Amino acid sequence: MSEVTKTGATPYDEMYTADGAVRPHYRPYAQWLEEVPRALIERKRSEADIAFHRVGITFNVYGAEGGKERLIPFDLLPRIIPGHEWSELERGLAQRVRALNAFLADIYHDQEILRAGRIPADQILSNAQFRPEMKGVKVPGGLYSMIAGIDLVRAAGADGSGEFFVLEDNLRVPSGVSYMLENRKMMMRLFPDLFSRYHVQPVEHYPDLLLETLRAVAPAGVVDPTVVVLTPGAYNSAYFEHSFLAQQMGVELVEGQDMFVQDDVLYMRTTQGPRRVDVIYRRIDDDFLDPLAFRADSMLGVPGLMRAYQAGHVTLANAVGTGVADDKSIYPYVPEMVRFYLGEEPVLNNVPTWMLREKDDLAYVLEHLPELVVKEVHGAGGYGMLVGPASTRAEIEDFRQRILAAPEKYIAQPTLSLSSCPTFVEAGIAPRHIDLRPFVLSGGKQVRMVPGGLTRVALKEGSLVVNSSQGGGTKDTWVVD
Amino acid sequence: MLSRTADHLYWMARYTERAENTVRMLDVSYRMSMLPRANGDDHANWRAILDISELSDAYVRTGRPLSPRDVIEFVLLDRDNLSSVWNCLRAARENAHAVRGKLTGEMWETTNATWLEIRDLTPEGLQDMDLGAFFEWVKFRSHLLRGVTVGTMFHDDAFQFARLGTFLERADNTARLLDVKFHALMPAGEDTHGATDYYQWGSLLRSVSAFETYRQVYRDVITPHKVAELLMLNHAMPRSLHACLDEIVDILGQVANSRSCETIRKAGALHASLHYGSMDDIFAVGLHQSLEKFLACINKLGDRISNDFLMPMAVA
């Protein structure tokens, strides 16, 4: 196991060095913080709360009082990343996403990586996320995950340095980008003077890049493609984001009921009659896309959509079947994909991972449960995981039984000491753990992203779970020159 | 634009307009009940309020007494009364929420803020409030949304469908108000004069913000005949049937599609009957009969608009 991920190491703090000095890129901020009265910051904080409520930037929590709308807590203290660190991250992210797309194209066509024995074939072919319907289907540009969210964490090294690791790839319907954009807007509104002290690289053009990306993957021969955003509807937890992105791109926000397929061509119902649709930025899962192809009880999709897609008459972004590449059981192979498809060494490393389908790994993990994080390979959103150090003995025993019943369903990782960042809490300012989700766009020949991404923060002291459905908050993320 | 989007905008506007007109009606009854002598028993007044919105049966089922407080509570806040102001503003907000990407930020904030303010209002809370001020608040929230819509929204089809909802609802509401008030105020077709007319018809005019306009137009004492004329045929009176039909016909011409010819023809015919109609003709047929026929036409027009442009109405 790597040195950098030992349990109990002092976490890397984004603002302070181990001996308490302010890191250079945080110095202007620290100075500003000393100058402004605390009461002003308190006032700004309630101003932000009111503004977010009025604009209705809310998040529906599954299972909570009938899906009530709730604000995601927004922390006023920015997460700052120096430009040179970001350049390196950007290089690593582009590389990783290229490899993942190459992998998906390969898996649904020639399967060379399986024939070369780099990944066990049964890992892919018997994976529930592998969609046989996609075999041999040609997709524009050979691209599958045009919009990817790659979760990064930073862990402290023995020498006090902090290295970024990829915690998870999200290649299906990653969300959160609207918070990235709204957080920036809010920070600029609340603290304009801060932006005169820093050259913060802008992120506001993300919707433009997204639209360009979606237009670039239109079916061949379509000159002026009609792009739509497909949402499950107003009660979905990420509905705010769906409507926000549609509005920012100036395209229609559609639900399944707004569209129909005739002769393998997709149309939407408009006040002027049917209109052809070329590209769907879909924010619903594969299972719900088409009741004729997948779940028959789905009311969210469009009957016949899959046939129109297979015929190449409409592009889905992301493609069907990308889940086979971001599954936690496949994650350990991504560095190998980078080497296999690109002939390069990965710029970004994975978190060391035990695969419990392997006997040795299983034995080790069962012996060390209290110090490890165990994840269900198909779980998402912080559900179905065990954080060893934060669990009671009973919880650990309960999880042990679940693992023993189906070890192949789990992976384990060392409890990373995620980096922390000072955060406004009840008692003032205190360090809280954070992660980072940059959004990587692939369209045509280019892989692009706006500098930074969404920083999520675990607001509970000591908590390592940053998901918004589990009480996490967000911060504005600055990449500074 | 998407039919569903048009549908949500149209209903957002209709529900907001309905909430506004409902408090206009409540307001006038509330004021009249405070007059030293009301016409006959006060009950008729409050029953009329319920009749206007076809809520009498539902009200009887609640078992509430026919007291001003109870009727006002029912019409304003009752969660089970789908036409209550509370439910109208909730529905307006839900429709807005479903298409918030099509609204300007100001439109969404207006609708959302209105809802957030009334959401937690209870009958107990209402008792501590100045009712007149509350009526004003609802009216002004509706004014604000309409103004923000006209002032910030791109004037494309989306805008037209929101406007269409406003005027269709207003035409319906003004016709109902007139119809019921005539019933309540002239029970047996008897003619009254003088002070009673002044107060009763005067308050009807006030409820549609037309009291001063009446004076300006007629320079005469207030008579039922002229009140009806102002609210039905005067195209410059913004809440009159004629003015609403002017807008509806204009909008339908702009959003026309290959299916809408017959709808446009029907709207045109209804418009012509107001444009070229006279009060003598209307009273010859009977005011009540004329208004009933008008309401039926508006209702059918609404169905046709839904079928041609929006989400087709479920066939009962």
pLDDT per position as a tens digit, A71-108? 678 899 999 999 999 999 999 999 999 999 999 999 99
> How big is the CA angle at A94 (ends A93 and A96), to the nearest 5 degrees?
65
Torsion, Cα A54 A58 A64 A66, to 10 degrees, reads 70
Q: Which residues of A touch B102 (CB under 8 A)?
A: 247, 253
Q: What is the pLDDT of residue A132?
A: 95
Compute the mean pLDDT over every residue in chain B, rounded to the nearest whole number. Answer: 89
Q: Does B255 touch chain A (CB under 8 A)?
A: yes
For helices B224-232 and B157-185, the axis angle rounded to 10 degrees is: 170
DSSP summary character for residue B104: -
B101 and A253: CB-CB below 8 Å? yes
Q: Does A247 touch chain B (CB under 8 A)?
A: yes
pLDDT in tens, A212-245: 999 999 999 999 999 999 999 888 888 889 989 9
pLDDT in tens, A31-55: 999 999 988 988 998 888 888 776 6
Minimum mean pLDDT among A327-331, B69-73, B99-103: which range? Answer: B99-103
Q: Which residues of B touch A242 (CB under 8 A)?
A: 101
Query: pLDDT at residue A378 above 80?
Result: no
Which is it for strands A439-443 and A147-156: parallel, antiparallel or unpaired? antiparallel
CA distance B99 to chain A (A): 7
Judge contact between A131 and A171, C-beta under 8 A: no
Closest by Cα among B180, B171, B178, B150 to B302: B171
CA distance A218 to chain B (A): 21
B1 and A270: CB-CB below 8 Å? yes
Looking at chain B, which residue has its C-alpha nearest residue A229? Answer: B101
CA distance A317 to chain B (A): 20
Q: What is the pLDDT of residue A63?
A: 39
Query: pLDDT at residue B101 above 90?
Result: no
Closest by Cα among A390, A410, A472 to A435: A472
Residues 255-314 of A with CB under 8 A from B: 255, 257-258, 268-273
Compute the mean pLDDT over every residue in chain A, rounded to the nearest whole number. Answer: 89
For the question of an ipTM over 0.95, the answer is no
Q: Which residues of B touch A56 (CB under 8 A)?
A: 97, 100, 108-109, 112
Q: What is the pLDDT of residue A370?
A: 92
3-state secondary structure of A282: strand
CA distance A41 to chain B (A): 25
C-alpha span between A378 and A385 (Å, rounded): 10
CB nearest B257 (choices: A56, A254, A271)? A271
pLDDT in tens, B138-159: 999 999 999 999 999 999 999 9
In a mutational test of the B interface, the residue from A57, A239, A271, A276 whose CB has the highest number of chain B CBs within 10 Å is A271
3-state secondary structure of A307: helix
Locate the domains of chain B by residue range: 3-308
Q: What is the CA radius of gyration of chain A?
A: 23
CB nearest B2 (choices: A53, A234, A268)? A268
What are the tokens at A169? 């790839």
